[in-house]
Structure 1
Amino acid sequence: MVFSKLWLNYKKLDDTRKRILISCEHSLKESAAFEELQTAMKAMLPEAIVLWKSEVFDDDSYLIVLGIHPELDREEYTIAASLNITEICGGSEAGLLYGVFEFLKRTALAGGFIGFNAQAKPSQPLRMLDHWDNADGSIERGYSGKSFFFKDGELLVNERTVMYARLMASVGINGVVINNVNVRGSAKRLLTKDYADSLEELGELFGRYGIKLFICPDFAAPISVGGLDSADPLDERVINWWKECCASLFSRIPNLGGFLVKADSEGQPGPFAYGRDHADGANMLARAVAPFGGLVIWRCFVYNCAQDWRDLKTDRARSGYDNFMPLDGRFDDNVILQVKNGPMDFQVREPVHPLFGAMKHTKLMAEFQLAQEYTGQQKHVCWLVPMIKDILGFHTKHDMQDDRVSRTVCGVAAVANTGDDFCWTGSELAAANLYGYGRLLFNEDTDLDELAEEWAQLTFGDDEQVISAVSEILKGSHKAYEDYTVPLGLGWMCKPNHHYGPDPWGYEFDRWGTYNRADRNGIGVDRSPAGTGYSAQYAPEWAEVYGDIDRCPDDLLLFFHRVPYTHKLRGGKTVIQHIYDAHFEGYEQAEHFAALWASLKGRVDERTFKNVSERFEEQLNCAKEWRDIINTFFHRLSGIDDKQGRKIYN
């Protein structure tokens, strides 16, 4: 089984010590923290021996003391490091493990043992990855090979899942959903004894690394695997079936965290079929898992996917707020509503979802997508971490002590971008999203420039030219992608179904509510109070800004307003000239990134160089298509020439 170790590929240090001494209580000798230290030290100091509680300590020794301090929070750690001795303490084995990974990271970046003091605990309590893996081994919206959790209906636990747990723990992930929210095939039987043994084994592995195991159940499981004729959440037979199911599951899998549920959306079963609402469905499941400390995470991605394009008032963007806001306060304490970062579907630019800060009596968590469904599918480099940080730091303007999104939620989840490819994420550079996402949730104050350089160094080594080039590519990649694809918050304009490549009217007359309303007179969707009224779902201060065409931020203008092509943006450009300029400039940036990578030939290993080079070739081809098709589309509609006279195809 061959796979990359990514940022945990420990390299030799510039140190000549002969002994590494690890001192800890006997109970910690079997911990993941102890094992990780052993593994790392053997790679970093290959000529040294690693000992437990040796009596010998001299100039050729380095001592690492591990301990549990109950006065610390469970996931908190402290580190007191010097040139000869380091003490790492955690509030639990999970906190200790996080401390060990922080010590190893700083040691690796410095190239040797250094003195420092650190104390940290996570910014977010629940830091999750959601895998859209199917039991047959396929991955919905997967761009990195097949599943490493499932193959032909079998749940796998092997050396790759161990490496996965190490990688996730190293960046602070503490919850993983292993199967697709669209529950299909034999995944419906994850609730049954068919998978009990393998789920127990995987749960034990995850627990060792401080990770809770979650699964997505079929809401209609009482019918699909239980033999009942109903899944009505208020039917006593259904209620009792779920109680018995959960009692059996949690008794076999002590590290089971609970369920992630997609209901009544895009064809998935749910409580609406029985005249019930989301609170009825979520609370029924929550009461079944509550005796075992379980959570029910209920997705808010629900909308009517049978919209008529002729209807100018119905608005998919409104659906999350309209469906869930009236239910505020009706959900049980162990229900968390999982809200997408924006109201549509993981577009490169959307406004922050209006539910954040609005639901004051309901627990929420934010959902992002590391799988690059709409941002280049891991063929284009697009570092999403700055966008995630911006959204978590967004001030909702609701009446609360701290109105940032990060303070209105009790956790964050992201759709994973992993698969069984050698490098885990399809593109070697896409792993920066996985690493940065976890690091950001653990410390929301993380400096993004430092984070990009840190990932590049841990992944590619100490070559300054490599670190500089990779960091520059990452930091400029999101803006470049946005520039050469979809302008000013408009969204979509991609090919239907697979969502890769340009198709300006691909969804324009379809049922999905993803319209741009472009014609010869103008472009954009009127979501002001005079239009669909979506802008009024925000706190009054933002509602006034978004609803006013003269105050709306330029980068969201076409999301909220329909404007003529000659409408002037704040910088003085017209909308049409901005579209032309952005698409030419975005493509030029992509060319620049490809040239930067090409300059690293011989400085990174050949497999990695080829992997990224091939993807840059595809990125340039696709970016050129985006540039030319979008510019030509708008030129033909508007009849307005590019002021700079660049080539537009007519």
Structure 2
Amino acid sequence: MTSLRFVFLFLLISFSTLAQKDYKLWLQYTAVNNAVMASEYKNNLKGIVVLGNSETIKVAQKELQAGFLGMLGNIPQIKSEIKEENNLIVGAASSLNPEIKKLVSSDFDKINNEGFIIKSVSIQNKKQIIITGKNDVAVLYGVFSFLRILQTNKSLKNLNIADSPKTNIRILNHWDNLDRTVERGYAGFSLWNWQKLPDFIDQRYIDYARANASIGINGTVLTNVNANALILTPQYLEKVEALANVFRPYGIKVYLTARFSAPIEIGNLKTADPKDLEVMNWWKNKATEIYKRIPDFGGFLVKANSEGQPGPQNYGRDHVDGANMLADAVAPFGGVIMWRAFVYSEHDANDRAKQAYAEFQPYDGKFKENVIIQVKNGAIDFQPREPFHPLFGAMPKTPLMMEFQITQEYLGFSTHLVFLPKLFQEVLESDTYQKGKGSTVAKVVDGSLHHNKITGIAGVANIGNDLNWTGHPFAQANWYGFGRLAWNPYLDSEVIADEWLRSTFSNDENFLKPVKKMMMESREAVVDYMTPLGLHHIMDTGHHYGPGPWVSNLSRPEWNPVYYHKADKNGIGFDRSKTGTNATAQYAPEVEKLFDNLQTCPEKDLLWFHHVSWDYKLKNGQTLWNGLALKYQEGVDEVAAMRNVWNKTEKYIDSERFSEVQMLLEIQYKEAKWWRDACLLYFQQYSGKELPSGVEKPTQTLDYFKSLKFPFAPGNG
């Protein structure tokens, strides 16, 4: 009996140790196996001199201790003064003595208030390493960056780093509801346990803050953009305050979604008209109430007059009226209004892709200075691939912030391995030509093109209460990569993949090289087996999980996939050129010319902008029909290749994560074939052509695929 108990205890401990790896994200702090680097680290890190005693500095010290213990097997001595050499000196500018401050004074000119300095220096002929910044949160960012150096086995010799975030607001948008369901969430329920708050502080809240701070995320919107006014009541604000208190030492501000009709729903007013004096005062009083509880409250995110959400248009007003009224309410406290540009109307179904531009571009320069317009990366809705949103090249007098979707609403949920920083980078590098060549989306977003005062990047979070946070171990890389690109929109996604793999799994090159290649190719694979050559929004109804190009019975035309692909006997694709809806005219002339011409339009965007004959010759000599079918097959083959790569990694990582990813890749392979077969069978009705050589024949009928239903698909609530 006793031996059985020991076996059970051993299994329990083994399981929890393995499970913890999934939970730790990229903050694994596993032992440095490279003997040369481990020796260098130990020789250069004899002690830690911590300057300051704020909650943030205490967090930084605790993180260093955890990192050193895990990676080096010991915690260097914590010291209050510098006597010997090879110390790590950690503290903000205000805590440095004049001698040390002089050594880094020129570096402070290179950083902003959130930037940090990591530098090798000599103090009284003794070698030291300094981590500093203009405030304690900046120091914390520097500490996490320093630990990443160790995690990725880089040398500590001659360190000279001065790094600052290029955007002000680097924020996660949680589409979390008060009942703990998560709209478009595929990793369990919401992190926020509103029932137990404010008195029960889950360790997850702290670990969430750690993870975000480690990649420079400095804001979180706790609630769904399809907002519930109850979050603004005292009962819930007390709970929000508790979370804000947890996040503050990590430099994270809390934001909330504002339901535009809140003055009616919880304020007993008869209207929510932004021009009504009582309504204006209600919002001002509400802002005062919130800031009294949470002095560093960030502000409001607003979805208005979109998909049934209330807004200023309900009262004959416009977006400027609504946004500026709320901006006045939070302005005295330094608050910001993030007003979403995701709008489309059932009354104008000419081309959904044109509507955000039509509603917002005429208001350029009319918003208050603490309003920033939050624009999705593309004009439709987080598709596997979209051309960049035309608004990024059309509102020079208005700050625009990027909205990316980290959760994989249209990319196979957390079942499919898709490295999204590749998508993010593609958008950020796109050239708007607003001020001539080189006017990239990144320069619009970081404010450098138009010298905006406020800048930002938002990511719709993929986080839930699953043990591994994101539902798929590799979906953690999308959270990580979003944070790194929000900090620096010019980072290369391959660098991000390398950092994440080394920090999360292994520094072994035999593991890194093939798996990094797999990650870098994964997004294109998904485009190929879902929406090749510019196809878009052909997912099934509601849940957006699988293929549904046949759907045509929804009440609004622009909700139906047939609206977007327009397949007929003559061809396929949405004509947005001059001969169609003329959506190309919303871009700068250079971009318009590129997209508008069938011959110059990039083939990756071909069916986004043009209705193309089935016999049209692609650049590779294939007809459109053959090329489309071969792209679908290529996507399936790419997933098979990913699966084969992963099957060879077993000896490099823990068995639990290996098995988890292996099983998920099997599902992805099956579902890639489902996408290929369902779409090609459907489109074949119109092309009337046989599948080309090299494309596997479907084993099911079109009627079978049409019959599939997913009433309980996650993230649909």
Greater Cα shift, 142-151 or 98-107: 142-151
Deviation string, structure 1 residues 134-187 (Cα, Å, up to 9, x no partner)? 111110000111111235585674211111111111111111111110113xxx
The aligned residue for residue 218 of structure 1 is 259
The aligned residue for residue 444 of structure 1 is 489
Q: Does 1:95 align with 2:138?
A: yes
Deviation at 1:391, TM superposition (A): 1.0
> Could you say what secondary structure the match of 1:89 adopts?
strand
Distance 1:625 1:412, change over 3 A: same
Greater Cα shift, 599-608 or 13-22: 13-22
Give 1:43-442 correspondences, 5 Å limit: 43-53=70-80, 57=84, 62-68=87-93, 72-81=111-120, 85-110=128-153, 113-152=156-195, 154=197, 157-184=201-228, 188-305=229-346, 314-399=350-435, 403-409=439-445, 410-442=455-487
Q: Does 1:39 align with 2:58?
A: no
Residues 19 and 51, structure 1, Cα contact 8 Å, conserved in 2: no
Residues 56 and 249, structure 2, Cα contact 8 Å, conserved in 1: no
Residues 306 and 512, structure 1, Cα contact 8 Å, conserved in 2: no
- 1:131, 1:432 → 2: CA distance? 17
- Identity of matched residues, %: 40
Q: In structure 1, what residue type is equivalent to 2:149? A: R
- 2:412, 2:278 → 1: CA distance? 46
The aligned residue for residue 576 of structure 1 is 625
> Could you say what secondary structure the match of 1:227 adopts?
coil
Deviation string, structure 1 residues 462-488 (Cα, Å, up to 9, x no partner)? 233322232122111011111111121
> Could you say what secondary structure the match of 1:123 adopts?
coil
Residues 90 and 96, structure 1, Cα contact 8 Å, conserved in 2: yes
Deviation at 1:591, TM superposition (A): 0.7
Distance 1:504 1:422, change over 3 A: same
Residues 506 and 652, structure 2, Cα contact 8 Å, conserved in 1: no
> TM-score scaled to structure 2, two decimals?
0.85
> Could you say what secondary structure the match of 1:7 adopts?
coil
- 1:546, 1:242 → 2: CA distance? 44
Deviation at 1:306, TM superposition (A): 6.1
> Could you say what secondary structure the match of 2:415 adopts?
coil
Deviation at 1:89, TM superposition (A): 1.3
Deviation at 1:84, TM superposition (A): 5.8
Q: 2:640 aligns with which of 563, 581, 591?
A: 591
Q: 1:506 aligns with which of 521, 536, 551?
A: 551
Distance 1:441 1:469, change over 3 A: same
Q: In structure 2, what residue type is equivalent to 1:183? A: A
Deviation at 1:212, TM superposition (A): 1.6
Greater Cα shift, 511-520 or 85-94: 511-520
Deviation at 1:199, TM superposition (A): 1.9
Deviation at 1:340, TM superposition (A): 0.5
- 2:55, 2:197 → 1: CA distance? 32
Q: In structure 2, what residue type is equivalent to 1:495? A: D
- 1:534, 1:475 → 2: CA distance? 31
Distance 1:592 1:84, change over 3 A: farther
Deviation at 1:493, TM superposition (A): 1.5
Q: In structure 2, what residue type is equivalent to 1:603? A: Y
Q: 1:21 aligns with which of 41, 47, 55?
A: 47
- 2:620, 2:75 → 1: CA distance? 61
The aligned residue for residue 687 of structure 2 is 638
- Let me know the Cα RMSD of the aligned residues: 2.3
Residues 19 and 48, structure 1, Cα contact 8 Å, conserved in 2: no
Q: Does 1:455 align with 2:455?
A: no
- 1:275, 1:315 → 2: CA distance? 23
- 1:336, 1:19 → 2: CA distance? 44
Residues 253 and 296, structure 2, Cα contact 8 Å, conserved in 1: yes
- 1:401, 1:376 → 2: CA distance? 35
Greater Cα shift, 5-14 or 223-232: 5-14
Distance 1:377 1:639, change over 3 A: same
Deviation string, structure 1 residues 190-248 (Cα, Å, up to 9, x no partner)? 21211233322222332211222111021111011111111111111101100111011
Residues 177 and 213, structure 1, Cα contact 8 Å, conserved in 2: yes
Distance 1:100 1:519, change over 3 A: same
Q: Does 1:555 align with 2:604?
A: yes
Q: Does 1:601 align with 2:650?
A: yes
Residues 629 and 692, structure 2, Cα contact 8 Å, conserved in 1: no
- 1:345, 1:518 → 2: CA distance? 20
Residues 520 and 638, structure 1, Cα contact 8 Å, conserved in 2: yes
- 2:408, 2:501 → 1: CA distance? 20
- 1:197, 1:621 → 2: CA distance? 47
Residues 166 and 209, structure 1, Cα contact 8 Å, conserved in 2: yes
- 1:648, 1:520 → 2: CA distance? 22
Distance 1:29 1:203, change over 3 A: closer
Residues 174 and 220, structure 2, Cα contact 8 Å, conserved in 1: yes
Q: Does 1:617 align with 2:666?
A: yes
- 1:153, 1:528 → 2: CA distance? 54
- 1:282, 1:452 → 2: CA distance? 38
- 1:92, 1:109 → 2: CA distance? 26
> TM-score scaled to structure 1, two decimals?
0.93
Structure with higher helix content: 2
Deviation at 1:49, TM superposition (A): 4.6
The aligned residue for residue 452 of structure 2 is none
Q: In structure 2, what residue type is equivalent to 1:431? A: Q
Deviation at 1:621, TM superposition (A): 1.1
Distance 1:194 1:632, change over 3 A: same
Distance 1:42 1:213, change over 3 A: same
Q: Does 1:5 align with 2:31?
A: no
Gaps of 5+ in 2: 1-15, 33-37, 95-107, 446-454, 702-717
Deviation at 1:531, TM superposition (A): 1.3
Give 1:526-541 correspondences, 5 Å limit: 526-541=575-590
